[in-house]
Chain A
């Protein structure tokens, strides 16, 4: 199984106790990335490669998709109604897909509002009360009113849905019709944006996941925090112990509050050779004994009803009495095999509203249409879908922006480097070596370096610009659309200028020195020499370099995938990233291949152009 890094050693202990009971069964805990999206991709890649990770530790939202793909084994025979009755009903319900059961809940989660009892006499229940509390007690930037998870990832959807439900809306109805173009959605988005724009939440929440929000709250810099139950365990060990209370999340007056149901559970890959052994582990990992370990060491909320009356647990977490009621009201996210794409669309649009590059009304409309087109898109033929494909349009636009900024810069700088390293001077071969370096280093690896250099606040770019006085304060480069695009273009220019320089240098070396001499005897100055001798003779090389660079900039993948992942709000997502996601995340291999094919045709046409433009050179040799 893959999980996040085992901080606190909870899983280590569960597994070693299991090994003590069942010495013949080996369970391997793979310490995956913290990002749940990334862990899901690891599972998907393993299923696609037919080399499945046998124990699937999955988020509540993966179940429908994994089950629909027949990657999971139904557990109905083991997880009988009798066994089931001991678990929380919402979590059991979320383990079903089309009448079969696939996922045994290990820990549950629900979004809720933490507040400072010592600073706010009465926690807000409605949006209106929230506004009053914020205006009265908030004092930014020393003390903001609320922090939540505003980064473009799954957590943002959980936050957003609580506003949407709180406004009386819902994304899909029972018949899977999309209901997002109504006033509920617009008022939810407007209110979320208002929370940031009014300074109730710090602007940096758009880069926050759970951990950053918690740190911020822990440092006393916010009055309230939207987070999961795990935060309680950590706050208990902080100076804030005893000063924090929990209530359901705020809602519009006259509507019902709701928290997003989360949680993790275990399933078994269909291709496993040892289903019995896997089940034995699941049985153990969801036993009261194991759930207690996970609770005490990791802050996991148990999924067995009985544990909410357990004395040891109630002593540690007295708020579980209240939490139990909140959990009974928790609402699941849409249960649909296409959930990942629905979520991606929600993430991107909510993020766009929060960042300020889209209005709530426009984003609501686009959410509605995009999800509609995903759910119904498969009914259309590919060419028709192509015309409706909103993501394609956006990624094509980003690709064009990226290419049209990076290629000219690379070319001019490359030409300059070539001319410079062509001159005879002491240290020329060393400088040629320096120019070679960026070209020879792996793009994906150096993208990590760039991410580090553009980091806020520890990155050297911010530090340097502040020191020389160009910036007044550090910029969050990678979380603003313009900043992220700039960083990507800058890194790409650095990486590929040498390629242009090498080709042009080769071109310069083919020009005989006598030509230059005779021209300078004829009285041609440097500028005349450059435009009338060098440029025309370099033309074939320039063409090769330019077209090569255009094609590769258009197909950029490595740099973006590592540096920005296409974010924020998909503003740096390029065509290749989109096609890759279609194939490897959304299982739309057919459509992805169709797009690849079209893209290929365009590029082959360009390549043929290269062949044509360089042909006369070969014939001359």
Chain B
């Protein structure tokens, strides 16, 4: 029995290592002093912790600017997505379940397409609207992309609230928008929070649209900035700085999902699968 248990935990430990290794490796490279990064044999733990790479990323390159751009677009898109999604989900809730599900299924078709296929049409539309290199353009694109998912999650949550609430509210003279904003949304706060976290992460991580819709360097988001980071020559790719940039981008995400882990799994499974 004991042997079995030890074996079991060995398996669990290797799953841990497999999932976390690339992140940990980036973290340890980022914390190495510049000269240790390019030393052979490879050292598995930094001999000396140094923030040199992190500092260089911000001082030698407009990385702070990229972070700001990412916050503006991801934040804006999250707010807009949740607002529109809650209105749609509220409408769906008012319908018969079968009909609402049929409509949602059509959303599914849109949500499943990889962004690589949407990028050219979206680019053309944004170009004609004169929204390239503009925060608004990317925010609109992200909203469209994440809307179906947000609608599912919110719809699933709204459905659980009893209809009697609405009826009582109508009797009290509430308009339908007041019902949404003053009853339904406050009651669905946990789901809203999880949806916000997830949509924010999706936008923060998105690459191809950001690359195409924001071609000017001053408008790069973090993933684009990291992917296009390069040095004076191919031979001198600044791996220390790149790993520092990767670490700066990923550490906050890991902290956030650590904080929301239980609800994220619940929300994902409810939204993406049951819906």
Which residues does A use to contact B, with CB under 8 Å?
Answer: 4-5, 7, 30, 33-35, 38, 42, 45-46, 48-51, 151, 209-212, 215, 417, 420, 425, 427, 429, 431-438, 440-450, 452-453, 455, 457-460, 463, 494, 498, 502-503, 505-507, 509, 541, 544, 548, 551-552, 554-558, 561-562, 576, 579-580, 583-584, 589, 592-593, 596, 599-600, 603-604, 607-608, 610-611, 615, 618-619, 621
Contact = CB atoms under 8 A, between A and B. Distances in A.
Interface stretch (B12-20, B51-59, B178-186): B12-20
- Dominant secondary structure at the A interface: helix
A452 B230 contact: no
B227 A448 contact: yes
11 contacts: A49-B133, A211-B236, A432-B261, A449-B26, A452-B29, A458-B42, A506-B268, A562-B207, A592-B120, A596-B120, A607-B112
Nearest to B41: A463
B187 to A, nearest CB: 21
Contacts of B136: none
Contact of B12 (A5, A420, A453, A544): A420
B37 interface: yes
Interface residues of B, number: 85
Contact of A45 (B113, B201, B215, B232): B215
B86 to A, nearest CB: 22
- Dominant secondary structure at the B interface: helix
B232 A7 contact: yes
B177 interface: no
A209 B234 contact: yes
A425 B26 CA distance: 30
Nearest to B262: A429
A17 B206 CA distance: 42
A417 B124 contact: no
Interface of B: 8, 11-12, 15-16, 18-20, 22-23, 25-26, 29, 37-38, 40-42, 44, 97-98, 101, 105, 108-109, 112-117, 119-121, 123-124, 127, 130, 132-133, 201, 204-208, 212, 215-217, 222-224, 226-236, 239, 242-243, 245-246, 249-250, 253-254, 257-258, 261-262, 264-265, 268-270, 272-274
B227 A445 contact: yes
Contact of B207 (A45, A215, A444, A458): A444
Contacts of A437: 19-20, 23, 254, 257
A621 B274 CA distance: 9
Contact of B132 (A51, A463, A494, A596): A51
B15 A435 contact: yes
Given A211-B235, A607-B112, A607-B113, 7 more contacts: A442-B207, A448-B229, A463-B42, A494-B18, A555-B114, A558-B207, A583-B123
A460 B273 contact: no
B22 A494 contact: yes
Contacts of B25: 449, 452-453, 460
A215 B265 CA distance: 51
B216 A51 contact: yes
Contact of B254 (A440, A463, A551): A440
A406 to B, nearest CB: 14
B243 A452 contact: yes
